Amino acid sequence: MTININIAAKHKLAIYLFYVGLSCCFTVVLNIFHTVYFLKIELTTASFVVPIFAGLLFGLMLAHIKALSAQLRNVAHTDSLTKIYNRLHFAHFLDAEIGKVKRYGGKFSIIFFDLDHFKDVNDNYGHLVGDDVLACVTDIVSKANRSADIFARYGGEEFIILTPETDLSGALIHAERLRNDIEKFEFKIAGHITSSFGVTEFNAETDRVETLLERADKALYLAKEYGRNRVEKA
């Protein structure tokens, strides 16, 4: 989390410096051209320096607007607690992947999972501990995912992963690794927590978004029914 914050701060500083520098350069060039070639008067120190300050102020305002715009986009696309994609933005990736596979061919799978007995964590230790568990699980899964995988918080303690170019068997292997990683991890206060997984592969001939998600949810339900802390397919 600290690394992400540092990267975001450096990115914001870079935006500020870029727009401030661009605005100052543009203002200086425009001032010299306007004074010397248009007004045809001598360029004094005052007439050179004052517009630089004006450009500096304008650049700061523009950079601030751009930084706020980027922040708003980030809020709209990510979950505030875990900092991964939210359910709404995940839907855009899923629609795009379905369109790509139906048009050009290929395959992908969905991994749907949640934490077993998570309500007990909140009830016994409080919601702050529960939030810490969710953040830790996010970190565990993010480290195990490939760069191409789309990872999102679906709601509450539920998460979903879109795995491009991955068939059912490959997704099952990945889900089992994630289940094992979560089970072995010792959370600071909550101790050991298990998770249940539902996995399904997209069928370009018959599937829609609704049918794909229904199958993944059904597989997760089976994992719960069969005792939790397991991976099931549908």
The catalytic site residues sit at 157
Is 129 among the domain residues?
yes
Question: 15 and 111 share a domain?
Answer: no
How many structural domains does the chain have?
A: 2
Higher pLDDT: 19 or 225? It is 225
Considering only CA atoms, give the Rg of the chain.
Answer: 26
Query: What is the pLDDT, as a whole number, of residue 164?
Result: 97
Residue ending a domain, choose from 77, 105, 131: 77
Torsion of CA 64, 69, 70, 73, to 10 degrees: 160
Query: What is the pLDDT, as a whole number, of residue 8?
Result: 58
Is 82 among the domain residues?
no
Question: 200 and 224 share a domain?
Answer: yes
Other Cβ atoms within 10 Å of 54 Cβ, number? 14
Residue ending a domain, choose from 77, 108, 141: 77
Conformation bin of residue 52: beta by default, left when phi > 0, alpha when psi is -120 to 50:
alpha
Strands, DSSP E only, in 91-226? 108-115, 150-155, 158-164, 186-187, 191-192, 195-201
Question: 30 and 143 share a domain?
Answer: no
- Name the pLDDT band for 3 (thresholds 50, 70, 90): very low
CA distances from 92 to 2, 138, 229 (A): 28, 20, 30
pLDDT tens profile 109-141: 999 999 999 999 999 999 999 999 999 999 999
Mark out the alpha helices in 34-159 (DSSP H runs).
Answer: 45-77, 87-104, 118-125, 127-144
Query: What is the pLDDT, as a whole number, of residue 1?
Result: 41
pLDDT tens profile 7-57: 555 666 676 667 666 666 766 666 666 555 655 556 566 655 666 666 666
Question: 116 and 221 share a domain?
Answer: yes
pTM above 0.85, yes or no: no
Is 71 in contact with 39 (CB distance < 8 Å)? no
- Name the pLDDT band for 228 (thresholds 50, 70, 90): very high
Question: 206 and 96 share a domain?
Answer: yes
Domain ranges, residue 52 = 2-77
CA distances from 133 to 34, 42, 168, 196, 197 (A): 61, 68, 28, 15, 17
pLDDT at 197 over 70: yes
**Cα 222 to Cα 232: distance, rounded to the nearest angstrom:** 7
Residue ending a domain, choose from 77, 111, 137: 77
CA distances from 44 to 21, 48, 84, 226, 232 (A): 22, 6, 54, 83, 78
CATH number, domain with residue 204: 3.30.70.270
Picking from 207, 219, 110, the residue whose alpha carbon sits closest to that of residue 160 is: 110
Question: 228 and 134 share a domain?
Answer: yes
Query: What is the pLDDT, as a whole number, of residue 131?
Result: 96
pLDDT tens profile 53-99: 666 666 667 666 666 666 666 656 789 899 999 999 999 999 999 99
